[in-house]
Amino acid sequence: MKHTKGSVEVITGSMFCGKTDELIRRLRRATIARQKVQVFKPAIDVRYAVEKVTSHAGAEFDALPIENSREIFKHLDDDVTVVAIDEAQFFDMNVVAVSKELAEKGIRVIVAGLDMDFRAEPFGPMPAIMAQAEEVRKLRAICMVCGEEASRTQRLVNGKPARYDDPIVIVGADELYEARCRKDHEVPR
Whether residue 15 lies inside any domain: the answer is yes
State the total domains in the chain: 1
Active-site residue flag, 87: yes
In percent, the amount of the chain with pLDDT more than 90 equals 79
CATH number at residue 89: 3.40.50.300
Q: Of 9, 22, 87, 178, which is the active-site residue?
A: 87
Whether residue 189 lies inside any domain: the answer is no
Predicted local confidence at residue 174, as pLDDT = 56
Q: How do residues 62-75 score in pLDDT, each as one tens digit?
A: 899 999 999 999 99
Whether residue 183 lies inside any domain: the answer is no
Whether residue 25 lies inside any domain: the answer is yes
Q: What is the pTM of this model?
A: 0.91
Whether residue 29 lies inside any domain: the answer is yes
For residue 94, give the 3-state DSSP assignment.
helix
pLDDT band at 50 (very low <50, low <70, confident <90, very high): low
For residue 179, give the 3-state DSSP assignment.
strand
Q: How do residues 99-120 score in pLDDT, each as one tens digit?
A: 999 999 999 999 999 999 999 9
The 3-state secondary structure of 147-165, one letter per residue: CCEECEEEEEECCEECCCC
Whether residue 173 lies inside any domain: the answer is no
Whether residue 27 lies inside any domain: the answer is yes
For β-strands 175-180 and 152-157, DSSP reports them as antiparallel
Whether residue 26 lies inside any domain: the answer is yes
For residue 49, what are the domain limits? 7-139
